[in-house]
Structure 1
Amino acid sequence: MIPSARISAAIEVLADIAARRRPAGEALKDWGLGHRFAGSGDRAAIAGLVYDTLRRRASAAHVMGSETPRALVLGMLAVMRGLDAAAIAALCSGERFAPSPLSPEEQARLAAPDLSGAPPFVQGDYPQWLHASLRHVFAADAAEEGRALAARAPLDLRVNTLKAEPDAARAALAHLHPEPGRFSPLALRIVLDAEGKAPPVSAEPAFLKGEVEVQDEGSQIAAILARPAPGEQVLDLCAGAGGKTLEFAALMDNKGQIYAYDADIRRLKPLHERVARAGVRNVQVRSPRGAEDVLGDLEGRMDLVLVDAPCTGTGTWRRNPDAKWRVRPGALAQRIAEQAKVLEQAAHYVRPGGRLAYVTCSLLDEENGAQVRALLAKRSDFHPIAPTDAALALGAQGAALAAAALTSREGLLMTPRRTGTDGFFVSVLRREG
């Protein structure tokens, strides 16, 4: 497919997303099934156009004065990909599969794509209803934080030290040009190509042998700050697919016991295969069984309980740009209720002297510091560990992380703008012994 045909396809996919109100991934899959002539490179390029448009939807609409799929794609080409009006006009020739020629108004708007007078939520490309929450956390920097969240995310890998050392894993993937992470000693970072296409890491021998896992550096850091130690008893209460469970096992050198649980048994399905591939031997999966209490024997016994809480995912907008436009106030309220419930539940499993790590991939105080403050108001036997002290778990890079992140009494907040990671909040509490 020629570049202009890919743009037409992206406009078509975005029209489908708008009409049927469904996730971008589903619309792209259906488009591919209906256009089997398109090769893998074409499909990847079209997906890149769609996701880039969703990343910059608000600013593209502002520049073009319209929210039609065509306007959004044209605006994105200007505000994100940096094409000038002449280059965009050349792609919109109206010939064969190309979009129709630019109108005089489109030409005028693309000639001067100015965002200087736009509201912060437009400059930052995030929903207007979330502006008050983001301003509460970031003050005047809300728009800049939003712009960082609207950029493409790199591909981060975690070296599984049960099977490989960082230098050896980096050498095995040298053809992908990975660089060490900024803070995590386990991280390797691969920058995506110009169209945002990631290499097929899951087909690499290093991945198939369990030497590396795909995991954002921020997620890696969150697990390290929880300080799981060899020989400890650990409960991962919202384990999901098990990313942090596997990292815990490596940090514990397969010594001690990790109990992996999730209230939704479907989320646990990938964990079994991942445990085997990673060479993990100290994980026991506790699957929910109706009304049966499968965790009752763990109450008051755990050295560490991790709550990787369900949240709005505002910190992952770089990877899920359509999610930021689909989240609604009702979803936030639901997540807040779920977080409060699971956090209070988690406290019962922590032994005296043990630790409770609360982690979200959210930037909102309602899901982060406010939840910790609410728990502390109910449980006077828990006290937060200072973020600067918690960061020392990273060794030499701990002070640098604490300086880069946004810290509070309740915890530490990483963001793409500040730390180059996804957005993660980490709070580590200690129960009085």
Structure 2
Amino acid sequence: MTPAARISAAIEVLGDIETRRRPAADALKDWGLSHRFAGSKDRAAIASLVYDALRRKASAGWIMQDTSPRSVVLGMLRLQRGLDLQAIAALFTGERFAPEPLSAAERERLESARLDDAPAHVAGDFPDWIEPSLKRLFGDDTVPELQGLAARAPLDLRVNTLKVASREEAHDALPHLGAIEAPLSPLGLRIAPSEDGRGPAVQSEPEFIKGWIEIQDEGSQLAALLSAVKPGEQVVDLCAGGGGKTLALAALMDNHGQIYATDSDARRLAPIHDRLTRAGVRNVQVRTPRAKADAVTDLNGKIDCVLVDAPCTGVGTWRRNPDAKWRLRPGSLETRLKEQATVLDRAASLVRPGGRIVYITCSILPEENDDALIALMERKTGFSPVLVSEILQTAGLSHLEQSIRPTALGLQMTPLRTGTDGFYVAVLRRNP
């Protein structure tokens, strides 16, 4: 397919997303099934165009004064990909499979494209109803912080120290991937996003199959490191899901001590077993709930560290899931807040006196972060927040102090400040 034909396809997919109000991944899959002539490179390029358009949906529509799929793609090419009028016009010719030529009005808007007087939710490309929440955290930095969440994300890898001696050894085994050492995580490798959005097939690499590396955002790696779990401890990963942080905790503990991995939804635990085997993990006991029954009742009051990777809106992952921002509704936030309260109450009953709760979200909304912990401490007495400086020092990550954004009870990572997804981490200690 020509570049112009790919743009036509992206406009078609965006129209399907808008009409049927469905996730972008579903629309792209259906398009590929009905256009089998498109090769893998074509499908990847079309997906990249679609996701870039969704990243800049509000600002692109603003400069074009129209929110149709065609206008959003035009605005995205100008704002996100930096194409000038001449380059865009060369793609919109109306010739074989190319979009129709630019109108005089479209040309004028592309030439005069400015966001100087755009409202914050347009310039930052986010739903307007969460602006008060964002300004609570970011203040005058709201627009640049959210623009960071509209950029493409790199592909980060975590080196598994249960299988390989050092990050350098793993890096040297993967020169063809073009990876560099991640700037903040001592276990991280980073692969920059490609121009067409295609990443390397890491999961087919021998080193991945042998368990040397795992795909994990650097922010998620840091969140696990900030738990500061030690060999010999008793740990519960209460929202383990597919096991990404469980694997990281096991490596930190060097397979000594015990991790109990569980989740309220047994289906989310399905991938964890194969991942544990591949990574060489031997100190994890997977507790699968039966008929919604609690799987860790016998551990109440006995646990040194309860990791709560809480269900949340996922606002901090918008770089990777740009269509999710436009599907977010106030009701979704309310649901997540109730789920967070439930899981935090459960964590409070598990932790022993002197033990700790490590609370993690991939959100930048204060309601899901500091507010959730304040509400817990109002419901449950005997818990105190650990100072951010102590969290960083205990984990051996004091160098993060220059990058993270401290909050009332924890710390916030963001693409703008840390180059990671938007992770929040806080630690509560149960009084002895």
TM bracket, shorter-chain basis: over 0.9
State the match for 1:207 in structure 2.
Answer: 208
Secondary structure of the residue aligned to 1:331 is helix
Structure 1 contact 145–415 (Cα < 8 Å) conserved = yes
Q: Say if 2:59 is the partner of 1:59.
A: yes
Distance 1:291 1:31, change over 3 A: closer
Distance 1:291 1:61, change over 3 A: closer
In the alignment, the residues of structure 1 paired with residue 376 and residue 297 of structure 2 have an alpha-carbon distance, to the nearest angstrom, of 21
Deviations along 1:284-303, whole A, 9 cap, x unmatched?
11111015332111000001
State the match for 2:316 in structure 1.
Answer: 315
| Structure 2 residue identity aligned to 1:420 | G
- Over the matched positions of the two proteins, sequence identity in percent amounts to 59
Structure 1 contact 384–409 (Cα < 8 Å) conserved = no
Q: Say if 2:99 is the partner of 1:99.
A: yes
Deviations along 1:225-266, whole A, 9 cap, x unmatched?
111110111000000001000000000001111100001111
Q: Larger deviation: 180-189 or 360-369?
A: 180-189
Deviations along 1:18-48, whole A, 9 cap, x unmatched?
0110000000000000111111000000000
State the match for 1:37 in structure 2.
Answer: 37
Please list, as runs of the form range in 1=range in 2, the aligned pairs for 1:4-19 lying within 5 A after superposition: 4-19=4-19
State the match for 1:415 in structure 2.
Answer: 414
State the match for 1:125 in structure 2.
Answer: 125
Please list, as runs of the form range in 1=range in 2, the aligned pairs for 1:184-199 lying within 5 A after superposition: 184-199=185-200
Structure 1 contact 159–211 (Cα < 8 Å) conserved = yes
Distance 1:292 1:114, change over 3 A: closer
In the alignment, the residues of structure 2 paired with residue 352 and residue 409 of structure 1 have an alpha-carbon distance, to the nearest angstrom, of 23
Secondary structure of the residue aligned to 2:195 is coil
Structure 1 contact 239–308 (Cα < 8 Å) conserved = yes
State the match for 1:295 in structure 2.
Answer: 296
Where does structure 1 lack aligned partners over 5 or more consecutive residues? none
Secondary structure of the residue aligned to 2:198 is coil
Please list, as runs of the form range in 1=range in 2, the aligned pairs for 1:18-417 lying within 5 A after superposition: 18-164=18-164, 165-395=166-396, 398-417=397-416
Where does structure 2 lack aligned partners over 5 or more consecutive residues? none
Structure 1 contact 265–287 (Cα < 8 Å) conserved = yes
In the alignment, the residues of structure 2 paired with residue 232 and residue 180 of structure 1 have an alpha-carbon distance, to the nearest angstrom, of 30
Deviations along 1:142-172, whole A, 9 cap, x unmatched?
0111100000000000000000121111011
Structure 2 contact 262–295 (Cα < 8 Å) conserved = no
In the alignment, the residues of structure 2 paired with residue 302 and residue 399 of structure 1 have an alpha-carbon distance, to the nearest angstrom, of 26
TM-score (norm 2): 0.98
| Structure 2 residue identity aligned to 1:6 | R
Deviations along 1:161-217, whole A, 9 cap, x unmatched?
000121111011111121112211111111011122211111111111110000001
In the alignment, the residues of structure 1 paired with residue 214 and residue 118 of structure 2 have an alpha-carbon distance, to the nearest angstrom, of 40
In the alignment, the residues of structure 2 paired with residue 181 and residue 392 of structure 1 have an alpha-carbon distance, to the nearest angstrom, of 20
| Structure 2 residue identity aligned to 1:380 | T
State the match for 1:426 in structure 2.
Answer: 425
Structure 2 contact 134–364 (Cα < 8 Å) conserved = yes
In the alignment, the residues of structure 2 paired with residue 294 and residue 313 of structure 1 have an alpha-carbon distance, to the nearest angstrom, of 26
Secondary structure of the residue aligned to 2:400 is helix
In the alignment, the residues of structure 2 paired with residue 119 and residue 215 of structure 1 have an alpha-carbon distance, to the nearest angstrom, of 34
Structure 2 contact 123–143 (Cα < 8 Å) conserved = yes
Structure 1 contact 359–427 (Cα < 8 Å) conserved = yes
Structure 2 contact 227–395 (Cα < 8 Å) conserved = no
Report the CA distance between 1:103 and its aligned residue.
Answer: 0.5
Deviations along 1:108-132, whole A, 9 cap, x unmatched?
1111211101001111011111111
In the alignment, the residues of structure 1 paired with residue 31 and residue 413 of structure 2 have an alpha-carbon distance, to the nearest angstrom, of 36
Q: Larger deviation: 46-55 or 402-411?
A: 402-411
May I ask how many residue pairs the two structures share in their alignment?
431
In the alignment, the residues of structure 1 paired with residue 16 and residue 120 of structure 2 have an alpha-carbon distance, to the nearest angstrom, of 28
In the alignment, the residues of structure 2 paired with residue 380 and residue 299 of structure 1 have an alpha-carbon distance, to the nearest angstrom, of 16
Report the CA distance between 1:138 and its aligned residue.
Answer: 0.4
In the alignment, the residues of structure 2 paired with residue 415 and residue 323 of structure 1 have an alpha-carbon distance, to the nearest angstrom, of 17
In the alignment, the residues of structure 2 paired with residue 291 and residue 274 of structure 1 have an alpha-carbon distance, to the nearest angstrom, of 24
Structure 2 contact 180–189 (Cα < 8 Å) conserved = yes
Deviations along 1:376-431, whole A, 9 cap, x unmatched?
22333111111111112442xx2331221111331011010111100011011111
Secondary structure of the residue aligned to 1:318 is coil
| Structure 2 residue identity aligned to 1:297 | D
| Structure 1 residue identity aligned to 2:44 | A
Distance 1:256 1:134, change over 3 A: same
TM-score (norm 1): 0.98
Secondary structure of the residue aligned to 1:348 is helix
Distance 1:115 1:401, change over 3 A: same
Report the CA distance between 1:309 and its aligned residue.
Answer: 0.3
